[in-house]
Amino acid sequence: MADADLDKQVNTAGAWPIATGGYYSQHNSPLAQINKSNVKNVKAAWSFSTGVLNGHEGAPLVIGDMMYVHSAFPNNTYALNLNDPGKIVWQHKPKQDASTKAVMCCDVVDRGLAYGAGQIVKKQANGHLLALDAKTGKINWEVEVCDPKVGSTLTQAPFVAKDTVLMGCSGAELGVRGAVNAFDLKTGELKWRAFATGSDDSVRLAKDFNSANPHYGQFGLGTKTWEGDAWKIGGGTNWGWYAYDPKLNLFYYGSGNPAPWNETMRPGDNKWTMTIWGRDLDTGMAKWGYQKTPHDEWDFAGVNQMVLTDQPVNGKMTPLLSHIDRNGILYTLNRENGNLIVAEKVDPAVNVFKKVDLKTGTPVRDPEFATRMDHKGTNICPSAMGFHNQGVDSYDPESRTLYAGLNHICMDWEPFMLPYRAGQFFVGATLAMYPGPNGPTKKEMGQIRAFDLTTGKAKWTKWEKFAAWGGTLYTKGGLVWYATLDGYLKALDNKDGKELWNFKMPSGGIGSPMTYSFKGKQYIGSMYGVGGWPGVGLVFDLTDPSAGLGAVGAFRELQNHTQMGGGLMVFSL
């Protein structure tokens, strides 16, 4: 059953009802009141403090005359009336055990909220998923999705489509077995659960799974590609973003990295971690699955955004899915059957793979950049952070251009053996990270890069001092918006990447900007609150360069450019 209310909001140009901008996850807007000629006149309109520090990822939602804002742990939610943004209509501030924070990898972030059936759907780090009445904040239902005692927490923005809420847990770094969970939007009842590893029944493979591409692998591999019962603690969690095609009734997402990071401890392809999935929304049955990095040995958790587009392929309009993976490859597939169409490096620095074989879908590895026990890997590109991470990219359908926020970071990797203990980190590697080789001064760690999605080739690049962690927003006024780790919100010309405007926010930005229209006026909103994996050193006052899984050394200068905060800034002409 379709959610008529959500469908209406998705088709309302001035609303922002889904964290990624819409079902297709294109993170763009037809609003054009702010454009290239007048963006120089954009000023701060109002701001809101969440009262919470640490990493504020994601973006607020706007439905009608209400805005809904989230915070990092303890995952507060605020409902603001846009007629008087200084007034908090209701707030939900959960009480959670502080011990949960100790098992959250890479800061205590929150990637946002969802909306459907007159409810705000939120999650809490402690594994609870809730539906709140959008008008009053009253709890309509609450369920437990995962258990922090075994290292499983919630950071993902829930996703609503039809009468279903999709939710995935974090925790691959602690040996958590990944799954996508589907709940009834009105009652919270579990409808189905599909794991990333294990038996075909538990992974929910349809009878015709990968029938169009049997070379991707089909049945029995969720256990056979693991040694013994290693699949039970094999990771594959999905904490990233979802996309949905209402016509095909398929939703798309990525399962994450296998556990532990030390590849020697888990021989085999480790299916179905590192996989792009196309699943039926109603049943959870997988129609197809494409494993991008078999036997991942670099923590290239493939949970990043899936962007859905419709473009001509060989003269025929084709439903496509594009995905920039942490492994440094931009993939485009037919989202109906999983056919691989494009697989291009996002940057020449990518060296772990020489290429991706389009016929087999298999990456061709360069053994020099492996991470095996008898070999200390150096100058590995990308780093474990990936050349792309949790940021949400934006798509311009007129020029068929994807505007991506990238990390230009490489690493050295030294593995070690360790036992599995429930609720403790299960990594097995020491990392050193540093800027990649191609920046103008060799010190740059971030890029905003425009890609032609027809070919996968880059059009232009705008370099940044730090990783472009939060992603981009495209508005029809010809502007590409993004926030920087050192605290700027910026607007670029979409044709050439020229910087047209910037504003220094109170703290670093790791979220994705959004836009909405209210009473005939366009606004741009951006969360601020430095943190996330790049900010762990600053947030937790760490100094060992290898701490934070290597992030502390790479981002040691960040503390000289911004400090902790947490809130939202809104801009207009």
DSSP string, 357-386: -TTT--EEE-GGG---TT--EEEESS-TT-
CB distance 188 to 141 below 8 Å: yes
Sign of the alpha-carbon torsion through 14, 18, 19, 22: negative
CB distance 466 to 445 below 8 Å: yes
Q: Which DSSP helix (H) or strand (E) runs through 7?
A: helix 4-10
Q: How far, in Å, are 200, 406, 446 from residue 386 at the CA level?
A: 30, 8, 11
User: SS3 for 151-202, per residue?
Assistant: CCECCCCCEEECCEEEEECECHHHCCCCEEEEEECCCCCEEEEEECCCCHHH
CB distance 252 to 321 below 8 Å: yes
CA angle 517, 522, 526 (to 5 degrees): 95
Whether residue 382 has a cis bond before it, omega within 30° of 0: yes
DSSP string, 99-135: GGGGG-TTS--B---EEETTEEEEE-TTSEEEEEETT
**CA 421/CA 541 separation, integer angstroms:** 27
CB distance 397 to 309 below 8 Å: yes
Whose tokens are 């050394």? That residue is 553
**CA 25/CA 307 separation, integer angstroms:** 5
173 marked as binding residue: yes
End-to-end CA gap in the chain? 40
Q: Is 280 a catalytic residue?
A: no
Which stretches of 285-339 are assigned E, i.e. beta strand? 286-291, 307-313, 316-324, 329-334
Exactly one of 163, 269, 296, 299 is catalytic; name it: 299
Task: Give the closest residue to 464 by CA, choosing from 436, 444, 487.
Answer: 444
- Could you give the residue numbers annotated as active site? 299
Annotated binding site for Ca(2+): 173, 257
